[in-house]
Chain A
C-alpha cells in the first residue's frame, strides 16, 4: 500500500522532497469570446454560439477582447507582476478536431504579465510562490464521442472563449501547498470578479509539474507533468500519488524510470498513468500572430486599472485581525468569500461588535444561506437589519435560539428584527423583578433539587432553570435565571 493510498503525506519521513510548479488555467468571465463577438457561456445547444471567426472559416480574422486583457492585467497587478508596456500574441500550432484553425492563439515571449508572487496560508503559516508569468489565450472546443458510434462530433461553443494561464515557479513543496496555493488563486480571482472559478464547469483547471530530489538539494531533477486536474482535491491526490511513485522508484534504485512525460491522473484507481512521452512531444511552431498587432499599454492606463483593484484577501485578513480584533480563524473564514466579508463589514459599520457579528454571520447567517440555497445577495436581509438582530441578542432582548427563528422570518418577510421579535412573542424576559418572582416560585415548588444544589450538585441547577423557562414559555433570559437561582438559594459559586 502506498503512503498516498493510506492518506498520509508521501514526503513524511523520507530523505526526499518534491518540487512542484503549477500551470492554472482560469476561464475569464467576459460577455463575449476572446477574438469574436459570440457569447461566452455554457449550456446551450452544440455549436449555437459560433461565427466565422470561432469556427475558423476561411477569411475570418481575430479581434482582441479588451475586457479579457483588462482582467489579466488586473490579476497581474494583484499579484505584483510586472506589466510590460508591449504584449503580443502568438500562434501555437497543432492538429486536433476541437481546434478549428489548426492553431491556438496564445502568448509565448511577451505575455501580459511577467513575474509576481502569490502569498497564501498553509496551516496558518504564510507561504510564497513566485509566478513566472500570466498570459492570455483562447480555449478549444469539445470533442464528443457517442458510445457505440464510429464517428465523433465537435462542439465549438467553448472554442475561442478567453482563458488566462497562471504559471508558477517550482516553489511549491507539498501537495497541500499546491492545493492551498490554488485556493488562494481562486480567492483572488473571485475578489477581482474576473472568473466565476466554477470548477465543475472547468473554469479552473490545473497542470502540475512535479519532480523529486534529496531533501536540501538545489538542482532540479527530471519532472513529469500531470494534465487537466479540475479540483483542489484532485490536485492534491494526484500529486500525492505521483510523488509517492517517484520516491518509490528512487528508493529502489530505479530513478532512471522517471522520465519527462505527460501523465494522467485516474482518481478511481488512485494512480497516475503515462499519456505521452517526450519523444512524442509536439513542436508547436510558435510564431507571432500576424493577424493581431502587438498591444501597447500606457502607464496611465495600467494605473487606471490598478485603481479598480479591491482590497485583496490577505490584506483584509490582516485588517480583520488587527483593527477588528477577530481571531485568525474567524478572520480567515470571513475573508474567504468576498460577498460574505463585504456583508460582515457593512454589519459592523452599524453595530461595532465585530466578534459577535462575525459569529452570527459565520454561523446563523451561513446556515440560513445554505438551507435556502441562495447567495448572500439574495437572502433579502440588509446588513443593517442583520446587525439589529445581533444587537438584540447581545442586549438580551431575544435568546440565541429564538434569534435564528427571527432571522428566518426576516428573510421570509423582509421586515426588521424588532418588529418580528415582538410579533412572534419571542422577546426574552430580562426584567429582574419579574424573573425574581418566577425563580422564587420554582424554588418553593422543588425543594428536592434545591437541596441538591445547596449540596453542590450543579446538574440540578439546570433542572431549575428548565422550570423557569417552562413557566415563561421559553422567554426568560437563561443566564439571568441561573444567576438568580444561585443568589436566592445561596449555593456555592459555580466553577
Chain B
C-alpha cells in the first residue's frame, strides 16, 4: 500500500493523505455519487492528531494516516448509519463496528461512507433510498451492488481503504462490475459486530481495493476473533500480505462446468478462460470439477437470506430509534406506517418472502428445504476440495448493465448473483479480480473460491495473477487519482 509507506517514510503527512483523498472524492463523487456522506472536518482533525503522534515519535499504528471509507451499513461514530434506508436516515450510532474500530486503532482515518442498496439488498446500488451510483467505466451503467459505492471508489480514487459487506456477492459482484479487487473472507474470519445485519448467517465484511495485495493488508488488520461476535472464529490471523506473495506453483485449481451456465456472456467466458490459462502458465494445475447442486443455490439463497432479513429488520419499528411516522394513531398503525414509509420496495418484498417462508405450515417446505440445499452446496465444495485447493470461475455471468435495465424485474436482477451466492451458503472465502475488458470497455471479473479459513490461498492466486497482468492497474474514464476525468 503505497500511501501507507509514503506516510511511514515521512514523505507525506496524514493530513496530506486525507486532503488528497478528500480532493479525489470532490472530483469523482459529483459524477459517480459513490459516497453518501463525506467527513472533511472530522477526517482532517483525526489526521492532524495522527501527525502529532508521529511527530512525537509514537507508534501511530500500522495504517497510520491511511484514509478509509466504509459502506453505510457499518456503524460508525461519524455521521449517520443509514444502511441506505429512509428508516435509518437520521440514525446516529453510539458505537463503531469492530472492523471500523480496528482500522481506527491501526491509525486509519474515516473519510466517507459509501452508497449501497438498501440494507445490502440488491446487485446494482439502484435500491439505495438516496440516489444511484454510476459505474466509473461507463456512467450510464450500474456499478453493481450492493457495495457499489465502495467498488466505484476503489478504482476511481487511490490511496484509500474501502470496506464493503457481502451477503450473496455484494463485495465480489460490484468489484467485477467496476474492475476492482474485492475479497469476501471466510464466514467468521471478520467480526460482524456493528454491521447492520441483512442475513446473519451469510453476511461477511471484506475489503474492496484496486489490488489483491492491498486486500491482504486490510484483511490482516480487520480479521480475528471478537468477543462481541460469537460467530467470529478464534483462529490465528496469518500475515496475509506475506502469505499472498508466495508462489502458486503446484496449487490445484478446479474449473466447475456449472459456473459457465447458459446465458453467460461470451466475452465473460472468454476472458475468464484466458485467465485460467494464465494460472496454468504460472505453474498451477488446472482440472475440471463438478459442483452439481449449483443451480439450486440461488433459490436457496433467496429463501434463507429473506427469512433472516425478515427477522433482522423487525427491530425497525419506529418505537426506539429511526423513522417514526408522524401521522400514526395507535401502536399497530405506528408500526405499519413507520415501516411502510421507511422501507423501499425491494426490502418489503424480501420481508414478505421471509415472513412467508418462516410461517407455520410453510416452514418445512421452504425454509427447511432451503437449509437442506445449503448443506448440499456445502458438501459439493467439500468433495471438490479433496482434489483441488481452489475453484476459479466467473464472478458474474454478465458485466455491468445499464442503469434501469433490470431494476423492475427482480428475478432478472437476482440472476446476477448466481455465481457468487454459493460462497456465502458454504461459508467460503471468495474473491473477484479484474481479468479483462469487454468490447464495450467494461471490466470482467474472475472469481476465486478457497477452502474455509484458507483466505490466504485465494489472495495468493489473486496476487500472482496481478503480478502477471495489468487489468487492475487501468484507470477508468472517471478518475480522481489521475487528476483528470478522461484518463485510461
Give me the interface of A with B, judged by CB distance under 8 Å: 52, 55-64, 91, 93, 95, 97, 100-103, 154, 283, 285-287, 290-293
Contact of A291 among B74, B230, B317, B360 (CB under 8 A): B230
Instruction: Contacts A102-B315, A287-B358, A293-B230 known; list 11 others, CB within 8 Å.
Output: A52-B95, A57-B93, A58-B91, A59-B97, A91-B311, A100-B315, A102-B311, A285-B355, A287-B307, A291-B197, A292-B231
Q: Which residue of B lies closest to A97 (CB)?
A: B319
Number of interface residues of B (CB under 8 A): 42
Residue B130 lies at the interface, judged by CB distance under 8 Å to chain A: no
Contacts of B91 in A (CB 8 A): 58
Residue B228 lies at the interface, judged by CB distance under 8 Å to chain A: yes
A161 CB to closest chain B CB, in angstroms?
18
Residue B81 lies at the interface, judged by CB distance under 8 Å to chain A: yes
Contacts of A102 in B (CB 8 A): 311, 314-315, 317
Pair A292/B321 contact, Cβ less than 8 Å: no
Pair A95/B358 contact, Cβ less than 8 Å: no
Pair A283/B231 contact, Cβ less than 8 Å: no
Pair A103/B197 contact, Cβ less than 8 Å: no
Pair A56/B311 contact, Cβ less than 8 Å: no
Pair A61/B315 contact, Cβ less than 8 Å: no
22 A-B residue contacts at CB 8 Å? Answer: A55-B320, A57-B94, A57-B321, A58-B83, A58-B196, A58-B197, A59-B93, A61-B228, A61-B231, A91-B311, A93-B311, A93-B314, A93-B358, A97-B331, A100-B319, A102-B314, A103-B311, A285-B311, A285-B355, A290-B200, A290-B201, A290-B308
Tell me, in angstroms, the Cα distance from A65 to B83 when the chains sit together: 30
Pair A58/B93 contact, Cβ less than 8 Å: yes
Tell me, in angstroms, the Cα distance from A58 to B363 when the chains sit together: 26
Residue B194 lies at the interface, judged by CB distance under 8 Å to chain A: yes
Give me the interface of B with A, judged by CB distance under 8 Å: 74-75, 81, 83, 88, 91, 93-95, 97, 192-197, 199-201, 227-231, 307-308, 310-311, 314-315, 317, 319-321, 331, 335, 355, 358-360, 363, 367
Q: Which residue of A lies closest to B75 (CB)?
A: A59
Contacts of B319 in A (CB 8 A): 97, 100, 154
Residue of B195, B308, B310, B314 with highest tally of chain A CB at under 10 A: B314
Pair A61/B192 contact, Cβ less than 8 Å: yes
Contacts of B231 in A (CB 8 A): 61, 290-293
Q: Which residue of A lies closest to B85 (CB)?
A: A58
Contact of B314 among A57, A58, A60, A103 (CB under 8 A): A103
Pair A283/B314 contact, Cβ less than 8 Å: no
Q: Which residue of A lies closest to B74 (CB)?
A: A59
Pair B320/A154 contact, Cβ less than 8 Å: yes
Tell me, in angstroms, the Cα distance from A154 to B321 when the chains sit together: 12
A433 CB to closest chain B CB, in angstroms?
80
For the residues of A in contact with B, the DSSP-based class is loop
A270 CB to closest chain B CB, in angstroms?
31
Q: Which residue of A lies closest to B203 (CB)?
A: A290
For the residues of B in contact with A, the DSSP-based class is loop
Number of A-B contacts (CB under 8 A): 95
Tell me, in angstroms, the Cα distance from A291 to B198 when the chains sit together: 12
Contacts of A285 in B (CB 8 A): 310-311, 355, 358-360, 363
B104 CB to closest chain A CB, in angstroms?
16
Contacts of B200 in A (CB 8 A): 290-291
Pair B311/A283 contact, Cβ less than 8 Å: no
Q: Which residue of B lies closest to A92 (CB)?
A: B311
Question: In the complex where A103-B314, A283-B359, A291-B200 touch, is A56 in contact with B230 (Cβ < 8 A)?
Answer: no
Tell me, in angstroms, the Cα distance from A374 to B65 when the chains sit together: 62
Residue of B229, B310, B317, B331 with highest tally of chain A CB at under 10 A: B317
Contact of B230 among A100, A101, A292 (CB under 8 A): A292
Contact of A95 among B197, B230, B335 (CB under 8 A): B335
Contacts of B193 in A (CB 8 A): 59-61
Contacts of B192 in A (CB 8 A): 59, 61
Contacts of A154 in B (CB 8 A): 319-320
Pair B321/A287 contact, Cβ less than 8 Å: no
Contacts of B228 in A (CB 8 A): 61, 63
Question: In the complex where A59-B97, A287-B307 touch, is A101 in contact with B314 (Cβ < 8 A)?
Answer: yes
Tell me, in angstroms, the Cα distance from A291 to B308 when the chains sit together: 10
Pair A58/B331 contact, Cβ less than 8 Å: no
Tell me, in angstroms, the Cα distance from A292 to B355 when the chains sit together: 21
Contacts of A64 in B (CB 8 A): 230
Contacts of A93 in B (CB 8 A): 311, 314, 358
Residue of A52, A64, A290, A293 with highest tally of chain B CB at under 10 A: A290
B204 CB to closest chain A CB, in angstroms?
13
Question: In the complex where A63-B228, A154-B319, A285-B355 touch, is A58 in contact with B311 (Cβ < 8 A)?
Answer: no
Contacts of A293 in B (CB 8 A): 230-231
Pair A287/B367 contact, Cβ less than 8 Å: yes
Tell me, in angstroms, the Cα distance from A417 to B199 when the chains sit together: 70
Contacts of B314 in A (CB 8 A): 93, 95, 101-103
Q: Which residue of A lies closest to B196 (CB)?
A: A58
B255 CB to closest chain A CB, in angstroms?
32
Contacts of B307 in A (CB 8 A): 287
Question: In the complex where A52-B94, A287-B367 touch, is A63 in contact with B196 (Cβ < 8 A)?
Answer: no
Question: In the complex where A154-B320, A291-B231 touch, is A59 in contact with B315 (Cβ < 8 A)?
Answer: no
B37 CB to closest chain A CB, in angstroms?
16
Tell me, in angstroms, the Cα distance from A48 to B231 when the chains sit together: 28
Contacts of A95 in B (CB 8 A): 314, 317, 335
Q: Give the 8 A-B residue pairs with the shortest CB-CB distance, closest first.
A: A102-B314, A290-B200, A290-B201, A285-B358, A59-B194, A58-B196, A59-B75, A56-B315
Pair B335/A63 contact, Cβ less than 8 Å: no
Q: Which residue of A lies closest to B97 (CB)?
A: A59
Tell me, in angstroms, the Cα distance from A97 to B94 when the chains sit together: 21
Question: In the complex where A100-B315, A290-B201, A291-B231 touch, is A59 in contact with B358 (Cβ < 8 A)?
Answer: no
Tell me, in angstroms, the Cα distance from A157 to B429 when the chains sit together: 40
B372 CB to closest chain A CB, in angstroms?
14
B455 CB to closest chain A CB, in angstroms?
20
Tell me, in angstroms, the Cα distance from A57 to B197 when the chains sit together: 10
Tell me, in angstroms, the Cα distance from A64 to B321 when the chains sit together: 25
Tell me, in angstroms, the Cα distance from A93 to B360 when the chains sit together: 12
Q: Which residue of A lies closest to B319 (CB)?
A: A97
Pair B230/A58 contact, Cβ less than 8 Å: no
Contact of A58 among B88, B201, B317 (CB under 8 A): B88
Pair A58/B75 contact, Cβ less than 8 Å: yes
Residue of B231, B311, B359 with highest tally of chain A CB at under 10 A: B311
A88 CB to closest chain B CB, in angstroms?
12
Q: Which residue of A lies closest to B368 (CB)?
A: A287
Q: Which residue of A lies closest to B308 (CB)?
A: A290
Question: In the complex where A64-B230, A291-B230, A293-B231 touch, is A59 in contact with B317 (Cβ < 8 A)?
Answer: no
Contacts of B88 in A (CB 8 A): 58
Tell me, in angstroms, the Cα distance from A292 to B359 when the chains sit together: 21
B364 CB to closest chain A CB, in angstroms?
12
Residue of A56, A93, A102, A154 with highest tally of chain B CB at under 10 A: A102
Pair B311/A61 contact, Cβ less than 8 Å: no
Q: Which residue of A lies closest to B88 (CB)?
A: A58
B225 CB to closest chain A CB, in angstroms?
12
Tell me, in angstroms, the Cα distance from A61 to B97 when the chains sit together: 11
A260 CB to closest chain B CB, in angstroms?
15
Contacts of B311 in A (CB 8 A): 91, 93, 102-103, 285, 287
Q: Which residue of B lies closest to A285 (CB)?
A: B358
Pair A100/B320 contact, Cβ less than 8 Å: yes
Q: Which residue of B lies closest to A100 (CB)?
A: B320
A56 CB to closest chain B CB, in angstroms?
5
Pair A283/B360 contact, Cβ less than 8 Å: yes
A355 CB to closest chain B CB, in angstroms?
55
Tell me, in angstroms, the Cα distance from A192 to B83 when the chains sit together: 46
Tell me, in angstroms, the Cα distance from A381 to B364 when the chains sit together: 63
Tell me, in angstroms, the Cα distance from A91 to B355 when the chains sit together: 13
A142 CB to closest chain B CB, in angstroms?
13
B454 CB to closest chain A CB, in angstroms?
20
A35 CB to closest chain B CB, in angstroms?
9
Tell me, in angstroms, the Cα distance from A192 to B145 when the chains sit together: 54
Question: In the complex where A285-B358, A287-B367 touch, is A61 in contact with B320 (Cβ < 8 A)?
Answer: no
